[in-house]
């Protein structure tokens, strides 16, 4: 009969195999880390260039007035390239005229003054009309609209 006993050479072979496989894994990892890495190319553009440019002088104005429809509004604005000044106006639904006058520059920012002309006028209160259902013929269904069917017998 054959009896297998643990021996020193078998343990040595297993230990050597573990060391060799660990060494192979480390060598493969070292070679792989040395290979060139592929990824997206660097961007072909640089950061944006911010350039301070002087403002352009301009001015504009418009006005609309239509008494038939009750429309009245307008605006005007002037700029010398650094300071903007202007105003706009509109007739509000309550009858007042709102005028906004403003200035704006790079130092103080936007400053507006709002003024109102006239007195607010609201329509007089009237209670709502009482509900009245719409008139129409009665619906064609229901017990009051049915006629009784004549009784028939099987003998007939």
Q: What is the mean pLDDT of each run of 10 residues along the chain (156 residues)?
A: 57 77 88 78 84 88 92 95 95 93 93 96 89 80 61 63
Q: Is residue 80 part of a domain?
A: yes
Is 78 within a domain? yes
Name beta bridge partners: 32.
none
In a domain, 138, yes or no: no
Stated pTM of the model: 0.49
How far is residue 149 from each of residues 23, 29, 146, measured CA to CA in Å?
Answer: 103, 98, 9
Contact 96, 120 (CB under 8 A): yes
In which domain, by residue range, is 92 found? 58-117
Radius of gyration of the chain (CA): 47
Give a yes or no: residue 149 inside a domain: no
**Residue 126 lies inside a defined structural domain of this protein:** no
What's the total number of domains in the chain?
Answer: 1
């Amino acid at each position: 009969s054959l009896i297998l006993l643990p021996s020193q050479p078998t343990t040595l072979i297993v230990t050597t195999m573990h060391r060799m496989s660990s060494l192979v894994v480390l060598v493969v990892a070292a070679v792989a880390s040395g290979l060139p890495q592929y990824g997206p190319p660097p961007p072909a553009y640089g950061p944006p260039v911010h350039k301070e440019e002087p403002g352009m002088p301009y001015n504009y104005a418009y006005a609309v007035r239509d008494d038939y429809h009750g429309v009245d509004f307008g605006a005007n604005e002037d700029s010398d390239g650094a300071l903007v000044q202007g105003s706009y106006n509109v007739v509000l639904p309550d009858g007042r005229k709102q005028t906004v006058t403003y200035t704006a520059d790079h130092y103080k920012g936007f400053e507006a003054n709002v003024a109102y002309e006239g007195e607010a006028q609201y329509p007089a209160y009237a209670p709502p009309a009482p509900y009245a259902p719409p008139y129409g013929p009665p619906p064609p269904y229901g017990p009051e609209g049915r006629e009784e069917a004549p009784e028939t017998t099987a003998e007939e």
